[in-house]
Amino acid sequence: MATIFIRELENRYITSLKNCFKITQLKKIHAHVVKLSLSQSNFLVTKMLDSCDNLGHVSYATLLFKQLLHPNIFTYNAIIRTYAHNRHHSSAISVFVQMLTHSTNSVFPDKFTFPFVIKSCTGILCHRLGMQVHGLVYKFGADFHCITENALIDMYTKFGDLTNACKVFEEMSHRDVISWNSLIFGYVKLGQMNSARELFDDMPVRTIVSWTTMITGYGRMGCYGDALDVFREMQMVGIEPDEISIIAVLPACAQLGALEVGKWIHMYADKNGFLRKTGICNALIEMYAKCGCIDEAWNLFDQLVEKDVISWSTMIGGLANHGKGYEAIQLFEEMCKVRVAPNEITFLGVLLACSHTGLWDEGLKYFDVMSASYHIEPEIEHYGCLIDLLGRSGCLGQALDTISKMPIKPDSRIWNSLLSSCRIHRNLQIAVIAVKQLMELEPEESGNYVLLANMYAEHGKWEDVSNIRKLIRNKRIKKTPGSSSIEVNNVVQEFVSSDDSKPFSQEVFWILEGLALNQTRTNDLMEPVEEDADKSSL
Beta bridge partners of 483: 496
pLDDT band at 524 (very low <50, low <70, confident <90, very high): low
Packing angle, helices 278-290 and 309-321, rounded to 10: 10
Q: What pLDDT is stored for residue 201 in this prediction?
A: 95
Helix 344-357, helix 380-392: angle, nearest 10? 10
**β-bridge mates for residue 485, sequence order:** 494
| Bridge-based pairing state of the strands 491-496 and 483-488 | antiparallel
Determine what percent of the chain is predicted with pLDDT higher than 90.
59
CA 54, 141, 151 angle in degrees (round to 5)? 45
Identify how many contiguous H helices and E strands the chain contains and give both numbers: 29, 2
Q: Given pLDDT bands bounded at 50, 70 and 90, which one contains residue 4?
A: low
In this structure, the number of other CB atoms found within 10 A of the CB of residue 62 comes to: 18
> Residue 284: is its pLDDT beyond 80?
yes
Measured in whole angstroms, how far is the alpha carbon of residue 203 from the centre of its chain?
25
Q: Which of 377, 406, 427 is the last residue of a domain?
A: 377
pLDDT (0 to 100) of residue 478: 60
Residues with Cβ within 8 Å of residue 304, at least 6 apart in sequence: 278, 281, 311
- Counting the structural domains of the chain, the total is 4
Q: What is the reported pLDDT for 519?
A: 60
Determine the average pLDDT of the residues in 240-261.
94
**Least confident stretch, 172-181, 199-208, 356-365, 472-481:** 472-481
Tell me what the pLDDT averaged over the chain comes to.
86
CA dist 93 to 47, 89, 109, 282, Å? 21, 6, 12, 40
Contact assessment for residue 121 and residue 131, using Cβ atoms and an 8 Å cutoff = no
Residue 1: its pLDDT value, please?
Answer: 40
- Asked if residues 425 and 433 have their Cβ atoms less than 8 Å apart, the reply is no
pLDDT at residue 505 in the model: 65
40-44, Cβ contacts within 8 angstroms, sequence gap of 24 or more: 40/68, 40/69, 40/70, 41/6, 41/10, 42/68, 42/70, 42/71, 42/72, 42/74, 42/75, 43/10, 43/74, 44/10, 44/13
Tell me if 298 is assigned to some domain: yes
Residue 252 lies in a domain: yes
Within a domain: 503: yes
- Which residues make Cβ contacts (< 8 Å) with residue 298, sequence separation at least 6? 315, 319
> What integer pLDDT is reported at residue 119 of this predicted model?
95
Comparing CA positions, the residue from 308, 286, 310 lying closest to residue 298 is: 286
**DSSP readout, 306-352?**
S--HHHHHHHHHHHHHTT-HHHHHHHHHHHHHTT----HHHHHHHHH
**Residues 216 and 296 occupy one common structural domain:** yes
Helix (H) or strand (E) holding 487: strand 483-488
Residue 89 covered by a domain: no
Distance CA 200, CA 233 (A): 13
In the three-class reduction of DSSP (H, G, I as helix; E, B as strand; rest coil), residue 491 is classed as strand
Residues of the chain with pLDDT > 70: what percent?
A: 85
Same-domain check for residues 325 and 278 = no
Q: Is residue 321 part of a domain?
A: yes
Range of the domain at 514: 485-520
For residues 286 and 319, membership in a common domain is answered with: no
Is 144 within the bounds of a domain? no
Mean pLDDT of all residues in 481-503:
59
One domain for residues 225 and 299: yes
**Is residue 56 helix, strand or coil?**
coil
Identify whether the C-beta of residue 329 lies closer than 8 Å to the C-beta of residue 359.
yes
Residue at 317 is within a domain: yes
| pLDDT at residue 7, rounded to an integer | 63
Buried b or exposed e, range 135-163, using 16+ CB within 10 angstroms: ebbeeeebbebeebbbbbbbbbbbbebbe
- Calculate the alpha carbon distances from 99 to 58, 127, 204 in Å: 19, 21, 39
Residues 294 and 372 reside in one and the same domain = no
Distance from C-alpha of 493 to C-alpha of 61, rounded to nearest angstrom = 59
- Give pLDDT, residue 538: 29
Mark whether 211 and 299 lie in a shared domain.
yes
Of the three residues 303, 318, 343, the one that is the final residue of a domain is 303
- Rounded to the nearest 10 degrees, what angle do helices 73-85 and 58-66 cross at? 160
Do 268 and 283 lie in one domain? The reply is yes
**Looking at the structure, do residues 337 and 274 belong to the same domain, yes or no?**
no
User: Does residue 293 form part of some domain?
Assistant: yes
On whether the CB atoms of residues 347 and 339 are closer than 8 A, the answer is no
Residue 69 has pLDDT above 60, yes or no: yes
Q: What angle do CA 265, 269, 271 make, to 5 degrees?
A: 115
Q: Report the alpha-carbon distance of residue 182 to residue 168 in Å, rounded.
A: 11
Split at pLDDT 50, 70, 90, the class of 36 is: confident
| Residue of 258, 250, 260, 257 whose CA lies nearest to 282 | 250
Does 195 or 533 have the greater pLDDT score?
A: 195
Distance CA 476, CA 84 (A): 58
- C-alpha 244/C-alpha 404 separation (Å) is 43
CATH number at residue 447: 1.25.40
Measured distance CA(392)–CA(386) in Å, rounded:
10
292 — pLDDT class (breaks 50, 70, 90): very high
Shared domain for 318 and 294, answered yes or no, is no
Fill in the DSSP letter of residue 266: H
Average pLDDT of the segment spanning 341-346: 96
Based on the fold, state whether residues 405 and 472 are members of the same structural domain.
yes
Q: Is 492 helix (H, G, I), strand (E, B) or coil?
A: strand
Distances (CA, A) of 108 to 97, 100, 129, 143: 11, 7, 18, 15
How far apart (Å, rounded) are the C-alpha atoms in residues 63 and 402? 58
pLDDT number for residue 118: 95
pLDDT at 262 over 60: yes
Q: Mark whether 407 and 434 lie in a shared domain.
A: yes
Specify whether the CB–CB gap between 41 and 13 falls below 8 A.
no
Confidence of residue 187 (pLDDT cuts 50, 70, 90): very high
Q: For residue 420, which of 461, 455, 458 has the smallest C-alpha distance?
A: 455
Instruction: Kindly state whether residues 322 and 283 are assigned to the same domain.
Output: no
pLDDT recorded at residue 39: 80
Run of H or E including 463: helix 462-474
Q: What are the tens digits of pLDDT across the range 101-131? A: 875 567 888 889 999 999 999 999 999 999 9
- Top pLDDT among 145 and 285 is at 285
Sequence-separated (6 or more) residues with CB below 8 Å from residue 248? 212, 215, 216, 219, 227
Q: Domain boundary residue among 432, 456, 480?
A: 480
